[in-house]
A and B are shown apart, each in its own frame.
Chain A
């Protein structure tokens, strides 16, 4: 399709699509080359002074206008997602910083075993790179992001988070004692939260609702970490620009993109190198929509794997209720609503494969704090546990501030039937087909989730909870969008090579969660950004023969 453009002749050296976690990191890293680098982002800059936590109606906003689900949030820059054929909804954010704007800031790394699941456990595929390859980039990313934690976690090879851990509070301490009683591993969560002033960012003051944006600027979303540095180094960032397709010439080289600008005009941006950083759903969507005579099944999709092997991390949540002393029964005696919402401590007791569990690979348990009063009421109403009328106040007070959650984050194995395709009906405001998610939990994931939920209940019981509620799989947890353009050495079995370059299009790179070969059982942002830094470094080392 022909596109009009006022700047067809303006070529850039590197065009990055997407200004989220990966796009920001790759932009910053490449900036030192002095190449002409442009990033196109469909959303805009967020204003921290407008985040919900600055307002009295913060809980209402967090559930609606700042919902992580784009189908609920419905900002103009959001695209709809057809998730009817999945028990897990995709959640994200579109804007500078991408989903890090709303993420929990849980920042664990993948483990060494995560890169070798085929060799170790006979499932998934081995990655073409390993933990050691990424180790320097994990460390650099920790410094750039400002990661809080405590050195010495026995669940990992030695490394040292640059900032002290987030406070445990009574929630963490209660569960730490329970884990000790059970003889299980636990450790303070590694968290992308500045626990003291860091690189111009003010220290965390425990606002609480990290998941609706950090007004303090303490949370390491990439709009406040990498982007300011990348812009100072000369990278250009054009917001409110939604890319429709990647253009390709007769020699299978990307020549740029067609995009809609802020006014809705269709434009072309030419580039010598194109880097996609749109997450595991957005990148697959864009490639599948970039059809041409040479790529009738979508760009860089001669393997047929673009969009396949979608991994989402099935998630369980168990919330235990802790009754206070009879005299204090109707007070928030545990103060569980205070502190960074989703981060306190974790247990990786069940992370590595162990015979006899009925599944391979594993999961991590994440101890989370509870909600504000309105969100507590919504949660209870949603479970039919908060009566209308008489009894409302007692029941609310029994729960508010007295609930501890344990999230069960399960490794999701790659399966080709789990995939992103283009929806035949649903489209965004520019008429670009929406992504359709087709996903089911595999048998291994199902057994793992069940095991994890049982262990979470066991831990909460050990801590003194007498009542608990289970949600598994938790629907609104499709944050981790992985595997839809996997990395590998074999062009028949992967979309990009071991340093992020598409097998089929030698000047097209992918740096987001799409390239994950397996998912691990932890939040992936740390690894996504380390991969982006690694790919950027490989590009810099190969500038002379980047396309050979």
Chain B
């Protein structure tokens, strides 16, 4: 018998308790993590969405480090170093310059970091709603998809067989 998925209450981190959370980072690195998340996805007034440095989303990122943990810590330390001090304490232009430095000099780390950020960002309830999505996993409800107009096949039928006969 299949177990039904448990609906996720609004405001809770999107992952379920099936994911063992990563151990927390130290507070200084946590601050860097939030600042670095905003480098990838900042808040947008135009679309009415938080940035990836939002408290809930950043907590989700921290919980989700998993097998990327070592690489992410390296990326965060690199950002601090490139910014000339703790990233979160730097002015915007230095933070952005540090982000550029990471992308240009540590592209693999930058990709790992950005992939993790967007994975967590785009499962946030508010962000999903802003995209016209219901904040839920695909199962069990699934989605409606129009069958389509099969009469479009008439020209194909009228052209006759296409396969190559073999004696």
Stretch at the interface among A17-25, A154-162, A510-518: A154-162
Determine if A378 and B115 form an interchain contact, defined as CB atoms under 8 angstroms apart.
Answer: yes
Determine if A217 and B2 form an interchain contact, defined as CB atoms under 8 angstroms apart.
Answer: yes
Does A140 touch B at the CB level, under 8 Å? no
User: In chain A between 367 and 411, which residues have their CB closer than 8 angstroms to a CB of chain B?
Assistant: 372-374, 377-378, 381-382, 388-390, 392-394, 397, 400-401
Taken together as a complex, chains A and B put the C-alpha atoms of A338 and B146 apart, in Å, by 10
Determine if B148 and A389 form an interchain contact, defined as CB atoms under 8 angstroms apart.
Answer: no
Chain A residues closer than 8 Å to B39, beta-carbon distance: 388-389
Q: Mark A168-190, 1 if CB is under 8 A from B, else 0.
A: 11101100110110010111100
B100 to chain A, nearest CB (A): 8
A59 to chain B, nearest CB (A): 6
Determine if A167 and B148 form an interchain contact, defined as CB atoms under 8 angstroms apart.
Answer: yes
Chain B residues closer than 8 Å to A392, beta-carbon distance: 40-42
Taken together as a complex, chains A and B put the C-alpha atoms of A103 and B152 apart, in Å, by 28
Interface of B is mostly: loop
- A-B contacts, 23 of them at CB < 8 A, read A49-B5, A55-B16, A55-B18, A56-B16, A59-B119, A112-B165, A116-B166, A130-B166, A157-B163, A165-B147, A167-B147, A167-B148, A205-B143, A206-B142, A373-B127, A374-B118, A378-B115, A388-B114, A389-B99, A390-B42, A393-B47, A394-B46, A400-B131
Chain B residues closer than 8 Å to A393, beta-carbon distance: 41, 44, 46-47, 49
With A155-B162, A167-B146, A373-B128 already in contact, 6 other A-B pairs whose C-beta atoms are closer than 8 Å: A49-B2, A150-B150, A173-B146, A207-B142, A208-B143, A388-B40
Taken together as a complex, chains A and B put the C-alpha atoms of A155 and B156 apart, in Å, by 10
- Asked if A111 meets B123 with Cβ closer than 8 Å, knowing A57-B14, A397-B47, the reply is no
Q: Mark B132-148, 1 if CB is under 8 A from A, else 0.
A: 11011111111111111
Which 3 residue pairs of A and B lie closest in terms of their CB atoms, listed nearest first?
Answer: A168-B148, A205-B142, A56-B14
Taken together as a complex, chains A and B put the C-alpha atoms of A216 and B5 apart, in Å, by 11
Q: Mark A111-130, 1 if CB is under 8 A from B, else 0.
A: 11101100110000000001
- Checking A113, A349, A374 against B166 with a beta-carbon cut-off of 8 angstroms, the contacting residue is A113
Chain B residues closer than 8 Å to A353, beta-carbon distance: 164
Determine if B164 and A373 form an interchain contact, defined as CB atoms under 8 angstroms apart.
Answer: no
Taken together as a complex, chains A and B put the C-alpha atoms of A267 and B121 apart, in Å, by 48
Does B25 touch A at the CB level, under 8 Å? no
Does A209 touch B at the CB level, under 8 Å? yes
User: In chain A between 73 and 97, which residues have their CB closer than 8 angstroms to a CB of chain B?
Assistant: none
Chain B residues closer than 8 Å to A150, beta-carbon distance: 150, 153
A216 to chain B, nearest CB (A): 7
Chain A residues closer than 8 Å to B44, beta-carbon distance: 393
Q: Mark A211-247, 1 if CB is under 8 A from B, else 0.
A: 0000111000000000000000000000000000000
Interface of A is mostly: loop
Taken together as a complex, chains A and B put the C-alpha atoms of A156 and B162 apart, in Å, by 7
Does A348 touch B at the CB level, under 8 Å? yes
Does A339 touch B at the CB level, under 8 Å? yes
- Asked if A339 meets B99 with Cβ closer than 8 Å, knowing A57-B123, A58-B138, A59-B122, the reply is no
Determine if A176 and B131 form an interchain contact, defined as CB atoms under 8 angstroms apart.
Answer: no
User: In chain A between 11 and 40, which residues have their CB closer than 8 angstroms to a CB of chain B?
Assistant: none
User: In chain B between 149 and 164, which residues have their CB closer than 8 angstroms to a CB of chain A?
Assistant: 149-150, 152-153, 155-157, 159-164
Does A60 touch B at the CB level, under 8 Å? yes
Does A64 touch B at the CB level, under 8 Å? yes
Determine if B14 and A208 form an interchain contact, defined as CB atoms under 8 angstroms apart.
Answer: no
Determine if A53 and B152 form an interchain contact, defined as CB atoms under 8 angstroms apart.
Answer: no
Does B15 touch A at the CB level, under 8 Å? yes
Does A136 touch B at the CB level, under 8 Å? no
Indicate the member of B99, B136, B139 with the most A CB atoms within 10 Å: B139
Does A471 touch B at the CB level, under 8 Å? no
Determine if B156 and A154 form an interchain contact, defined as CB atoms under 8 angstroms apart.
Answer: yes
Taken together as a complex, chains A and B put the C-alpha atoms of A207 and B139 apart, in Å, by 6
- Checking B14, B142, B155 against A180 with a beta-carbon cut-off of 8 angstroms, the contacting residue is B155
In the complex, the chain A residue whose C-beta lies closest to that of B63 is A57
Taken together as a complex, chains A and B put the C-alpha atoms of A180 and B139 apart, in Å, by 35
B163 to chain A, nearest CB (A): 5
Determine if B137 and A56 form an interchain contact, defined as CB atoms under 8 angstroms apart.
Answer: yes
Determine if B148 and A169 form an interchain contact, defined as CB atoms under 8 angstroms apart.
Answer: yes
Taken together as a complex, chains A and B put the C-alpha atoms of A382 and B111 apart, in Å, by 8
Chain A residues closer than 8 Å to B159, beta-carbon distance: 154, 185
Determine if A207 and B138 form an interchain contact, defined as CB atoms under 8 angstroms apart.
Answer: yes
Chain B residues closer than 8 Å to A170, beta-carbon distance: 146
Does A461 touch B at the CB level, under 8 Å? no
- Checking B66, B103, B142 against A216 with a beta-carbon cut-off of 8 angstroms, the contacting residue is B142
